[in-house]
Structure 1
Amino acid sequence: MTKRFEDKVVVITGGSDGIGRACARRFAEEGAHVYVTARRQEMLDQAIGQIGHGAIGVQGDVTKLADLTKLYDRVGHDHGKVDVVFANAGTHQPIPLEALDEAAFDATFDLNVKGLIFTVQKALPLMTAGGVIVLNGSVAGSKTYPDQSLYSASKAAVRSFARSWTLDLKDRGIRVNVVSPGATETPLLRGFFDAAPGAEEEVIKGVPLGRLGHLEDVANAVLFLASSESSFVAGHELFVDGGVAAV
């Protein structure tokens, strides 16, 4: 195991399961001081036990600015810096256009857009040259799927932030990129497939590489974007989707 992140301080939002937890474990294995957030304390405690390596959980909701302040106050007190932010927290709920309401809009954009913006903004006082921000996007930000207009729009915004923030932060030496997974074997997606017989097969038919993504596929991409191996990569969207966006 390499130690690309020895003594680096890494903050991951939405890290209690799925992609966030998989990335947290990998960062921790490679020597990072990992801080993970989640809304539910019980799930956060379980995740910290699975991540190991001294990872720390800070309960909080990224849509609440006071919770983000609490998170970075803890990190600042412990280490005085942040080297990597993986803004991962998000939600996905397919909703037909005619069924959209204000509550659905608020739930999606508060978490996928507002929470992501302030996760990054509030980290900046602790970041210096060489710092890295990785945003969790989605292939849905570039591809069209039925009943996903709201989700797709929120992820298109994430892609736009990476471009804009690359310019905003270039003089500070902070890089920003997006990792955009396709259909990935997460608890959320598995629950959807279990409730919709035949859906998994249909999704896989549309993937050129013929399978769902694994959590490690996405973690590999996130750690690459966060490491010095990608030091000349900025404002980029890295699709981890089996070829869906490209073909």
Structure 2
Amino acid sequence: MAKLDGKVALITGGTSGIGIATAKLFVAEGAHVYVTGRRREKVEEAVRTLGTSSTGVQGDVANMADLDRLFKQIGEEKGKLDIVFANAGAAEFAPFGSVEEAHFDRMFDGNVKSLLFSAQKALPLMTAGGSIVLMSSVVGSKGLPANTVYAATKAAIRSFARTWTTDLKERGIRVNAVSPGPIDTEGLRELLGDTPEGRKRKDSFGQIVPLGRVGNPDEIARAVLFLASEDSSYVAGAELFVDGGMGQI
């Protein structure tokens, strides 16, 4: 029996990178997966890749009206949610001393506010014993340069896994965070620049990761599957580092 047979899952930011890798794995394990993304063409491409056990919904998770439309559709079509992987987010870097208000607002709106309301608006549909997996990052536990605001957003997300676990214990909904290290995704390549210099910077991450390399999206997807499935039935409020040892050594 597949690990997610009969389950309905939502993956925000599910059209590329870690999101699409996790969606593929969830579908392979028997779930029907809703994926969201801001770009319609990417949402349609994801559904073509995932097949009939998926539904794509175009929208911005930082927009409350888009979230309401998303959950209305899931409610009408499936009537429940078993799994939420709150994956959507963004990264920008600015050293302390040059942080601008617009940068702060983009990071907290895009990473914290949107994640909180994505999960909260899912609650009326969530089944007893469901699972919420939050996308945090190893940077929330490190003192890396130019990460003042971005790291703070990821630390806030890790805190949510603790507080929501206590808030939702009567419903048996487990909340955990997954914290990747540097992962070779389209988003990372765009952030660093897909140029010889950008690729050199990406490869340099291997020098600060004890395993000596950048990770790949499938490695994170397998960790998310663990937290979403009954394999982690006694795991709650935890932060699972999938970072090649970067946050541990």
Give the TM-score, by structure 1 length: 0.96
Deviation at 1:99, TM superposition (A): 2.7
Q: Is 1:118 aligned with 2:117? A: yes
Deviation at 1:226, TM superposition (A): 0.3
8 Å CA contact 2:4–2:229 kept in 1: the answer is: yes
Output the amino acid matched with 2:44: D
Deviation at 1:6, TM superposition (A): 1.0
Output the amino acid matched with 2:105: D
Q: Is 1:63 aligned with 2:62? A: yes
Q: Which residue of structure 2 aligns with residue 203 of structure 1?
A: 205
Q: Which residue of structure 2 aligns with residue 243 of structure 1?
A: 245
Size of the aligned set, in residue pairs, is 246
Q: Is 1:151 aligned with 2:174? A: no
Q: Deviations over 1:66-111 (max 9, x none)?
A: 1111111111111110000000000001112233212111111111
Deviation at 1:193, TM superposition (A): 5.6
Deviation at 1:202, TM superposition (A): 2.4
Q: Which residue of structure 2 aligns with residue 96 of structure 1?
A: 95
Q: After superposing the two structures, state which structure 1 stretch, 62-71 or 189-198, moved more.
A: 189-198
Q: Secondary structure at the match of 2:128?
A: coil
Q: Secondary structure at the match of 1:234?
A: coil
Q: Which residue of structure 2 aligns with residue 85 of structure 1?
A: 84
Output the amino acid matched with 2:5: E
8 Å CA contact 2:203–2:214 kept in 1: the answer is: no
Output the amino acid matched with 2:151: S
8 Å CA contact 1:60–1:68 kept in 2: the answer is: yes
Output the amino acid matched with 2:228: A
8 Å CA contact 1:85–1:132 kept in 2: the answer is: yes
Unaligned runs of 5+ in 1: none
Q: Which residue of structure 1 aligns with residue 27 of structure 2?
A: 28
8 Å CA contact 2:62–2:114 kept in 1: the answer is: yes
Q: Which residue of structure 2 aligns with residue 194 of structure 1?
A: 194
Output the amino acid matched with 1:242: G
8 Å CA contact 2:94–2:146 kept in 1: the answer is: yes
Give the TM-score, by structure 2 length: 0.96
Q: Which residue of structure 1 aligns with residue 42 of structure 2?
A: 43
Aligned partners of 2:57, 2:205: CA distance in 1, in Å?
A: 35
Alpha-carbon distance change, 99 to 149 in structure 1, aligned in 2, over 3 angstroms = same
Aligned partners of 1:225, 1:63: CA distance in 2, in Å?
A: 24
Output the amino acid matched with 1:111: G
Unaligned runs of 5+ in 2: none
Output the amino acid matched with 1:93: E
Output the amino acid matched with 2:45: Q
Output the amino acid matched with 2:167: D
Q: Deviations over 1:35-92 (max 9, x none)?
A: 0111110111111111224310011111111111111111111111000000000000
Aligned partners of 1:52, 1:212: CA distance in 2, in Å?
A: 29
CA RMSD of aligned residues (A): 1.2
8 Å CA contact 1:10–1:82 kept in 2: the answer is: yes
Aligned partners of 2:24, 2:52: CA distance in 1, in Å?
A: 8
8 Å CA contact 2:203–2:213 kept in 1: the answer is: no
Deviation at 1:163, TM superposition (A): 0.3
Aligned partners of 2:126, 2:72: CA distance in 1, in Å?
A: 13
Aligned partners of 2:53, 2:95: CA distance in 1, in Å?
A: 43
8 Å CA contact 1:139–1:245 kept in 2: the answer is: yes
Q: Which residue of structure 2 aligns with residue 222 of structure 1?
A: 224
Q: Secondary structure at the match of 1:178?
A: strand
Identity of aligned residues (%): 54
